[in-house]
A = this chain, B = another copy of it.
Amino acid sequence: MVGYAFMGAAHSQGWRTVGRVFDLPLTPRLAAVCGRDGQAVRAAADRLGWAAAETDWRALIARDDVDLVDVCTPGDSHAEIAIAALEAGKHVLCEKPLANSVEEAQAMTEAAERAERRGQVAMTGFNYRRVPAIALARRMIAEGRLGTLRHVRVSYLQDWLVDPSFPLTWRLQKPYAGSGALGDLGAHAVDLAQFLAGEPVAGVSALTETFVRERPLLAGASSGLSAAGGPGGGESGLGQVTVDDAALFTGRFASGALASFEATRFATGRKNALKVELNGERGSLAFDLERLNELFFHDHTEPGVSAGFRRILVTEPDHPYLEAWWPPGHGLGYEHTFAHQAHDLVRAIAEGTAPAPSFADGLQVQRVLAAVEESAAKNSVYTPVPV
């Protein structure tokens, strides 16, 4: 694994847990973790349960005891590391967004396709596909429970930037993060929309905004979880926020369904509210990540007199991933998405199948994000997304 901040900790918990809960054809071993600060990475290895620590990701990739490289760094280094790992014959799991640009994502996808022909697999870390309620939603849609889709609505609302004194972390700087709420939150929203609808977004019309344009520079170095600072700290005073604080966009699917997206870090009081709703001719589904064990389903084929959105508590043994967990009603949490991701990836490696979401899926999300930025720059004009 490369990187050991918030995502690294979450992935580690997934890797440590998956084999204790699921029956797996292969047993994952936490061979080595990599970071630039030797002392910090050794402490992280001990804490998170990795057998060894490296300070150069090239050394990590060169290790014989590493079969799979899990890339948990900021987006600006995804392409270089993931492509090198694939070229070195490793399987790769890469955090989302796949890259900071379509070009990088394109190169990564090509590398993945070449690697696939050599029997390697590559997966993009859209972990929310592994929330059991989301997996169940996808299964129900694939079964036709919603019929022809009319509306797909996804908003991802957080509020950690409301305070203008929150510092200028790497997530607020374009060179490291690529974009702001768009790439961080909007990427999840777009991936879920495409995953659930079963088709790509065909075009978008977008607005983006940066509400707070200057923020205090971080005094120290990179550290910690959510507010981890990027390189270049040490100065005092204010620095420019060079990414969006919020992105709103509408879109169309080729099937004719309409889509509505919102990603923001300024929705005061909303902590991690990834809300999804899909309306089809035969029914509707609704989900909110702040209540991740629940899926709401309206079955429009029922008599209206007793129809209504039902709250499915997604903890039954025949719900996705749940056969391995606790009895009904004993809910899971955020971190379990990483165990499920690990489960699916390990099975794909063992079975020689292509895991989803692939790098191509990650690339397709990246194309939507690029179209959003293009539309926003062109007065919101409707901008088709190439496939």
A residues sitting closer than 8 Å to B (CB atoms) are 6, 10, 12-13, 16-17, 20-21, 47-49, 136, 140, 146, 150-151, 153, 155, 158-160, 162, 205-207, 209, 211, 225-226, 246, 248-252, 256, 258, 260, 262, 264, 266-273, 277, 279-284, 289-293, 297-298, 300, 304-313, 315-316, 318-319, 326-336, 375, 379-382
With A250-B250, A262-B260 already in contact, the answer to whether A226 and B327 are too (CB < 8 A) is yes
CB distance from A66 to the nearest CB of B (A): 21
> A167 to chain B: closest CB distance in Å?
15
Chain B residues positioned under 8 Å from A21 (CB to CB):
13
A269 near B308 with CB under 8 A, answer yes
Rounded to whole Å, the gap between the CB of A212 and the closest CB of chain B is 10
A226 to chain B, nearest CB (A): 4
Residues from chain B with Cβ under 8 Å of A49 in the complex: 20
Q: Would A207 and B258 count as touching, CB distance under 8 A?
A: yes
User: Which residues of B sit under 8 angstroms from A305, Cβ to Cβ?
Assistant: 136, 312, 316, 318-319
Task: Determine whether the beta carbon of A334 is less than 8 Å from that of B328.
Answer: no
Chain B residues with CB below 8 A from A269, complex form: 279, 283-284, 298, 300, 307-309
What are 24 residue pairs bridging A and B, where the CB atoms are less than 8 Å apart in the complex?
Answer: A10-B326, A13-B17, A13-B20, A20-B47, A140-B306, A162-B281, A207-B250, A207-B252, A209-B258, A226-B327, A226-B328, A248-B260, A267-B284, A269-B284, A269-B308, A270-B279, A271-B329, A272-B328, A273-B329, A308-B311, A330-B334, A333-B333, A380-B380, A381-B382
Nearest-neighbor residue (CB-CB) of A316 within chain B: B304
Given contacts A151-B246, A248-B250, A268-B280, 17 further A-B contacts (CB under 8 A): A12-B20, A13-B20, A162-B281, A209-B258, A225-B326, A267-B277, A269-B298, A271-B315, A271-B328, A272-B315, A272-B328, A272-B331, A292-B331, A306-B310, A307-B310, A310-B311, A380-B381
Q: Which B residues are in CB contact (< 8 Å) with A328?
A: 160, 226, 271-272, 304
Note all chain B residues with C-beta closer than 8 A to A312: 305-308
B residues less than 8 Å from A10 (CB atoms): 326
Among B20, B150, B249, B311, the residue within 8 A (CB) of A250 is: B249
- A29 shortest CB reach to chain B, Å: 13
Contact yes or no, B279 A268, CB < 8 A = yes
Task: With a 10 A CB-CB cut-off, give which of A49, A153, A327, A336 has the most chain B CB atoms.
Answer: A327
- Cross-interface CB contact of A256 among B209, B271, B333, cutoff 8 Å: B209
A300 vs chain B, min Cβ distance (A):
5
Q: For residue A205, which residues in chain B have a CB less than 8 angstroms away from its CB?
A: 205-207, 250, 380
In the complex, chain B residues whose CB is within 8 Å of the CB of A277: 267
Please indicate the chain B residues that have their CB under 8 angstroms from the CB of A267 in the complex. 150-151, 277, 279, 284
- Given A16-B16, A48-B20, A381-B380, are A313 and B333 also a contact pair (CB < 8 Å)? no
- B329, A331: Cβ atoms closer than 8 Å: no
User: Is B334 a contact partner of A334 (Cβ separation < 8 A)?
Assistant: no
- B residues within 8 A CB of A260? 248, 260, 262
Chain B's closest residue to A226 (CB) is B327
Q: Which residue of B lies closest to A252 (CB)?
A: B207
